[in-house]
Structure 1
């Protein structure tokens, strides 16, 4: 533990007193390791989302130190005065002393909550806002009721929202973000991490800023924005390399996420470099993280079709899970069995693949964990199982699986519906129901339940088809409109000026209009750096005159004028330019059209046409075929 870390940790926990002893800091750290890991990580400039591997790998050494200190710093339990653990006596103690007692009774949840109550009451009585917020944050980690847990964190936030602190309200925001992240509620998690980032910037806390960015990048990767996640992780890696107090775990974890997102983007060679460095840094030190990187190594070899090496990497992970301190990592075990099934499937050993996928499903059922990657395993089982009852169960699981992922904001259609999309899955389900009904009569209640499910699914399917038809109609109308505009290119959107434009000399108006015409013909709007000021200079006029003329003669603001020119050009160019359509990504097309980001381009395109650029391109390609 670095001296700076100790100073930071103590400064927030014990605001009113000089923190004289190293023991109190270590003892409190042990308690936080057990109960409020995300807060501990935040204090030590470690991204709050880190998993149990950090906790388990450090806990043994930390507790050894604590045990030695207890022998020297405190009497044995038989020698302790009863008043030291008495709640009434605790009311006269300092915040530090109450926290020390909480550490002593950390295994007794009832007593811990009672002492935290004393801590909070003291803070309220003495009007110590940060101590009160700290108490609510600690208490939330012992609260079993989820709404009560969130209410306590919200109270800590509201107390410190407008207060001057280096650590609040970021800590409760981090804690809420982690709470929702663990439940895979990515939208709510993202909202809290963004708030933590905003306040970290306001308070100029660089470590917290990168902790928030780290978490946001994790969410982006989980919902399919691999490129954006990759860029943020690269930025975080640079920060970790150059920071004064180098954090080897945080650095290694970033290598893991870099390798994971690189593989999903097809950047296999880059992924291999991150995997190699990550394995060398985590072996024998961080077993859980080592296992995760090993699975990415297996995924790398799977892409290379080196099945033997891929199989060895996964088996190494499974062996580690049986023997190491990482044996409780059920999520990694599920993924390991999935990859083992994937390897067997790709190498042609289909019966063994089915066994691995069934083992994966068994653990997933027991734990309730359903990583997004494992869906392909269920698809394989649907297509390979001969037992109709088992197949029916797997189909139901897959439908539920899809529903959960869709609700979490994942790009389901692009990421996991490639092999077995929803309409096919619904047809398969109907066939299985008919087959099962032929084998066994079902009672009335079961039939009603099935019919109800099919009715709901039918309604959902109807709306999906209806939406597709509407999009198709919009596309056809857009093509017709673009073709008409191409034939009558001389069509003008100009109108007679109003009183504002009439105040400008006619010669100047004509000069500006001629300049705009030339600007449009020469496609000056494709320059992404063009502004009203730069265009005014180009047309030898001023911004005020230019804005008035565009508003009056083009019936739109300058920014909308540029957007319309760019989108109209994009509609036409995508229709006639195969190279632009087939070889450029949406981001690349956006750059070509003068937009700075793919998001701004997509939004402008959607506002203008009612369609997403990707859908428009896809339909153009289909039409051409």
Structure 2
């Protein structure tokens, strides 16, 4: 069929309209699906007839948004193919980015990351700041999933500053993810602040599409601080809109935290029912976030406690399968994001240095001097390494003994419960101190003696004296000791954390900076976090 015959399929009322007009009609929420289908087809026919590769790529992008789920990725392939015909880096980069978003919405994270990295290759050759920050945002989503919360926070903060200018949805999305990061690092106060800001900004900007997500996020946040009834209220309020949007991932997350909240309230039967809803989504969509695997652990313990071994075995097998999936996905994503994204600048610097070195010429005498000096240096390093290795191993074993001793001391302290104290006020502060330790609230950043004394309704001097008397430490050493013991125990028990950066580990422990975390860890244990992790890995491998 010739171009004229093809164009005849476009209704007369829009045949002479431009692409902007047709696109605006596609995006009009007031029209029904049948009307939208006519505009989608007209946009596609017009782009094909005019051989406008950019608009043809946009035509398929429209279908990626509005087509049935099973056809979205087919249209995404056509979108990329059309973009490549344009030979334009901006158009090709934008197409790969949209393809990555389509994969991410189906939670096919490996394929999403691959598309983002290809998009980044094209977009960095352009001056398109908008697409550049869209890549940053989507890489931030992958880093969030991997648990690199500190790095994700930095990316989302950059995106907030950029999108705040002229992209309302990008701005609100970035705020939502920033709040989720604060939740994961234990800064629940900041998480609530961001969620409240997201809702108020949505109203100010006349866009409430994200409101249910901020409510959902706050529900998860309240569960983390054991406000279970409020958590249930907020997540239940948010889930209908999230389900209607087809967002199975956040729906599954909601079910998990509903289950965890009911479990916290002692209603295990209702908790199990929500864990099973989470499991149904895992079966249907193959989606599970690392924190959600606890749902399977709780189901296993429940069925073990009531003697249903067949059901217990069923969920043990499900958890083993989930762990294999998580490990495979995590390993792939981590390898790609570090090798192909984080190290891009390092590679550029390396190439610049190598090019500079090629221009320099060394005579034989200087070359030999360098080699001899290097050999002597390496020998000295080896001798020092062997000496330090013994010291590191001794410090590592001392740290493990300290962690075990801390558990026993905590148990003994729980049995005492402060009853031997002669003063009621002292006993009350000791009781609050124990609750503070058990709830892990010491992970709050920038916590001071004055602030903690305010929480306990006592004065800083008196609180300092009690800590000195009963914990045998100054306030700073006491607080740092709690944080270091917490993160050391978590690294020891959760292997995934052994792949985190010092910055991410410091955020998880509640330190305000990486330097403070590393210094505190070395002061408390005598070895660095990296050395501790290396020794743990050696123990796992049976190496001494």
TM-score (norm 2): 0.56
Pick from 138, 154, 169: which aligns with 1:215?
A: 138
Structure 1 partner of 2:115 = 192
1:254 paired with 2:180, answer no
Say whether 1:29 aligns with 2:16.
no
Give deviations 1:367-413, integer Å, cap 9, x for gaps. Answer: 66544443211221122125444434433333332232222226999
* In the alignment, structure 1 residue 292 sits paired with structure 2 residue 221: no
SS in 1 for 2:371: helix
Unaligned runs of 5+ in 2: 1-15, 335-352, 354-360, 401-480, 488-499, 507-513, 516-529
Report SS of the residue matched to 2:180: helix
User: 1:286/1:575 Cα in 2 relative to 1: closer, same or farther (>3 Å)?
Assistant: farther
Contact 1:287 1:326 in 2 (8 A): no
In terms of fraction of residues, the more helix-rich structure is 2
Shift of residue 198 of structure 1? 3.4
Aligned partner of residue 330 in structure 2, secondary structure: coil
Aligned partner (choices 367, 373, 380) of residue 548 of structure 1? 367
Q: Is the 8 A contact 1:173 1:193 kept in 2?
A: yes
By how many angstroms is 1:209 displaced? 0.7
Task: For 1:196 and 1:562, locate their aligned partners in 2 and report how far apart those are by CA, in whole Å.
Answer: 46
Is the Cα contact below 8 Å between 2:253 and 2:292 reproduced in 1? Answer: yes
| Residue 82 of structure 2 corresponds to residue 156 of structure 1 | yes
CA distance in 1, matches of 2:385, 2:314: 48
Distance 2:383 2:58 in 1: 54
SS at match of 2:122: helix
Change (3 A) 1:278 1:392: same
Distance 2:45 2:375 in 1: 61
Query: 1:133 offset after TM fit, Å?
Result: 4.7
**Which digits, 9 at most, give the CA deviation of each residue in 1:557-601, with x for residues without a partner?**
99x99998998897577446679999599637999xxxxx99xxx
User: Helix, strand or coil: the match of 1:202?
Assistant: coil
**Structure 1 spans left out of the alignment, 5+ residues:** 1-20, 34-58, 68-102, 414-531, 533-541, 592-596, 599-611
Whole-Å separation in 1 of the counterparts to 2:84 and 2:379: 43
Count of aligned residue pairs for this structure pair: 381
Structure 2 residue 44 is matched with structure 1 residue 116: yes
- SS of 1:107's partner is helix
Partner of 2:326: 405
User: Per-residue deviation at 1:275?
Assistant: 2.0
Residue 575 of structure 1 contacts residue 620 of structure 1 at CA under 8 Å; is this kept in 2? no
The C-alpha deviation readout for 1:232-289, integer Å capped at 9, x for no partner, is 1112122234x3x2x3332222121111112212222322221221233346966663
Greater gyration radius: 1
Give the direction of change, closer, same or farther, for the CA distance of 1:156–1:352 in structure 2 (3 Å limit). same
Deviations 1:459-490 (A, max 9, x none): xxxxxxxxxxxxxxxxxxxxxxxxxxxxxxxx
* Structure 2 SS opposite 1:204: coil
- Residue deviations 1:288-336 (CA, integer Å, cap 9, x gap): 6322222322232223222332233223324x54xx9946544433322
**Which structure 2 residues correspond to residues 49-64 of structure 1 after superposition, within 5 A?**
59-60=28-29, 63=30
Alpha carbons 1:580, 1:589 under 8 Å: kept = no
SS of alignment partner, residue 312 of structure 2? helix
SS in 1 for 2:196: helix
Separation of aligned partners in 1, 2:389 and 2:120? 38
What is the 5 A alignment of 1:92-491? 106-107=36-37, 112=41, 116=44, 119-120=47-48, 122-123=50-51, 129-131=53-55, 133-134=57-58, 149=75, 151-161=77-87, 163=88, 167-241=90-164, 243=165, 245=166, 247-282=167-202, 289-318=210-239, 320-321=240-241, 326=244, 328-362=246-280, 365=283, 369-385=287-303, 386=306, 387-409=308-330
- Structure 1 residues 549 and 209: alpha-carbon distance in aligned structure 2, compared to 1, 3 A threshold: same
- Taking structure 1 as the reference length, the TM-score comes to 0.50
Q: Distance in 1 between matches of 2:147 and 2:50?
A: 47
Would the aligned equivalents of 2:94 and 2:131 in 1 still touch at CA under 8 Å?
no
Change (3 A) 1:547 1:562: farther
Give the secondary structure class of the aligned counterpart of 1:409: helix
- Structure 2: distance between partners of 1:215 and 1:260: 14
Structure ranking higher on relative contact order (CA contacts 8 Å, 6+ apart): 2
Contact 1:294–1:314 under 8 Å retained in 2: yes
C-alpha separation in 2, matches of 1:556 and 1:179:
54
- CA displacement 1:165-222 (0-9 Å, x = unmatched): 6x31122111221233234333332232233233323211111111110000001111
Partners of 2:25 and 2:36 within 8 A in 1: no
Contact 2:140 2:152 in 1 (8 A): yes
